[in-house]
Every structure is written in C-alpha cells, then in structure tokens.
A and B are shown apart, each in its own frame.
Chain A
Amino acid sequence: GDSVTQMEGPVTLSEEAFLTINCTYTATGYPSLFWYVQYPGEGLQLLLKATKADDKGSNKGFEATYRKETTSFHLEKGSVQVSDSAVYFCALSVNTGNQFYFGTGTSLTVIP
C-alpha cells in the first residue's frame, strides 16, 4: 500500500545550521509529494509540494526534490532560524485515490 516513512526526531540544531529531514515513500500510481509544517498549537500548513519526478518544491528557504529513482523527498534548508522550530510532516497523495498519507512527523528545535 501507499505509505511514507520519515526520519524520527527530535532534531535539535543551532541557529544557521544546515537541516535535512529524510522522507521516503511507497506508492502505487504516480504520487504527488508534500511537506507540511505544524507550529505549536496550530494546524498543519503546506510548506511545499512537488507533483512529478525531478520537480523541486521550495518555500521560505526550504527545498525538496522529488526523486523517483530513490523514492525520496528529503527536506533541506541551508540556514535554519529559531522561528523554524516546529514539527514537519512528509505526505503523499496518489492521483487515482482520495486519501493523503502522512509520515509520523519530525520535531525540530533550533536553539540560538
């Protein structure tokens, strides 16, 4: 079945450090891939997306590239800030289905 596996946290980084959060997927059909971010006490917000192989999604300095050959969609940011502290979820949807599949979330804390 369709599923997403993402790197377990929590992750703690110093401000301006490089961030990578790994995400791999299993899917039937041709999935679209997403990263969502959840700040404390809030719902999930779409951070970026990619709808086909080799697409790169980007937003607020975050990037992720849809790699079909490795079935991966790793999230990266070159220089994290304290305000990036949140929980990050990788997700997929298959265009033939109605459901989204979420990873378990990775908690990121950035310290000054």
Chain B
Amino acid sequence: NAGVTQTPKFRVLKTGQSMTLLCAQDMNHEYMYWYRQDPGMGLRLIHYSVGEGTTAKGEVPDGYNVSRLKKQNFLLGLESAAPSQTSVYFCASRSTHQPQHFGDGTRLSIL
C-alpha cells in the first residue's frame, strides 16, 4: 500500500546543476501537486496537474518545470539549481473532491 512515493529522499546539489524529482502515486488520482516547505512559510504550491498531459503554475513556479506524461507520475525539474531552492519538497495527489495525500518529502540542499 505505497500511496505517494517520492524519490530521492535526500539530495545535495551544487549551484547550476540540474536534477529531477520523481513523484509516483498508485491510487489512480487525477490531481497531483508539488509544494515546497520552508521555515515560517508553510507550504507553497509550485506546480500542479489536473490530469495526464496537463500542468499549471502555482504560487512559486519560477526556476522549476514539471511534466505529467503518465497519470501516476509527476516530475519536478530544476534546470539550474540555486541556493534559494534549498527546501523540503512535497508531492501530493488526490481524486475529485477529496483531500490530498502527501509523500514523505525530498530534502534538497543547494550549495
């Protein structure tokens, strides 16, 4: 009963490097979300998707790109990492009119 799985759990990058965070859900949910969590700021929405092949910008999309090629997967990309992107990243999914289910997070440090 996996739910929402995020990989990797931890990563350290150097400024300017690129990487992709993977979110996978096995609940056949239509909606998927990427958030970042920073001290004192709660959760801020980066991008979200309302279905396979669709994506939309959230509150803080700059510096990130996403793709939803398969319904079960939602990828978050950093093309050129910056220290300001050091954060804990959470993925969530849900079905229509239901609460979100969250993954355990990816802790990302940019040096």
Q: How far is the CA of A31 from the CA of B98 in the complex (A)?
A: 12
On whether the beta carbons of B90 and A49 are closer than 8 Å, the reply is: no
Q: How far is the CB of B5 from chain A (nearest CB, A)?
A: 11
Assembly CA distance A95 to B104 (angstroms): 26
Contact of A43 with B102 in the complex, beta carbons under 8 Å:
yes
Please give, as numbers and ranges, the residues of chain A lying within 8 Å of B27 by CB-CB distance: none
Interchain nearest-CB distance for A26 vs B (Å): 15
A42 to B4, CA, bound (A): 12
Taking CB atoms, residues of chain B closer than 8 Å to A100 are 33, 45, 92, 100
B31 and A49 contacting across the interface, CB-CB below 8 Å: no
CA–CA, A19 to B90, complex, Å? 27
- In chain A, positions 41-63 with a C-beta closer than 8 Å to chain B are 41-46, 49
> What's the nearest-Cβ distance from chain A to residue B32, in Å?
11
Given A43-B90, A43-B105, A95-B97, the answer on whether A102 and B56 have CB atoms closer than 8 Å is no
Q: How many residues of B contact A (CB 8 A)?
A: 22
Q: How many residues on chain A are close to B (CB under 8 Å)?
A: 19
Q: Is A104 in contact with B90, judged by CB distance below 8 angstroms?
A: no
Whether A98 lies near B102 (C-beta < 8 A) is no
Query: Complex: how many Å from CA A49 to CA B99?
Result: 8
Residue ID in chain B nearest A101 by CB atoms:
B45
Q: Given contacts A42-B104, A44-B90, are A99 and B48 in contact (CB under 8 A)?
A: yes
Does chain A have a CB within 8 A of B78? Answer: no
Pair A46/B105 contact, Cβ less than 8 Å: no
A66 in the interface, Cβ–Cβ < 8 Å? Answer: no
Q: Confirm or deny: A89 has a beta carbon within 8 angstroms of a beta carbon on chain B.
A: yes
Q: In whole Å, how far is B1's beta carbon from the nearest beta carbon of chain A?
A: 14
A39 to B49, CA, bound (A): 26
B residues contacting A by CB (< 8 A) are 4, 31, 33, 40-43, 45, 48, 50, 56, 58, 90, 92, 97, 99-105
13 example contacts (A-B, Cβ-Cβ < 8 A) are as follows A32-B97, A43-B4, A43-B102, A43-B103, A44-B100, A45-B102, A46-B101, A89-B43, A98-B31, A100-B92, A103-B42, A104-B41, A105-B43
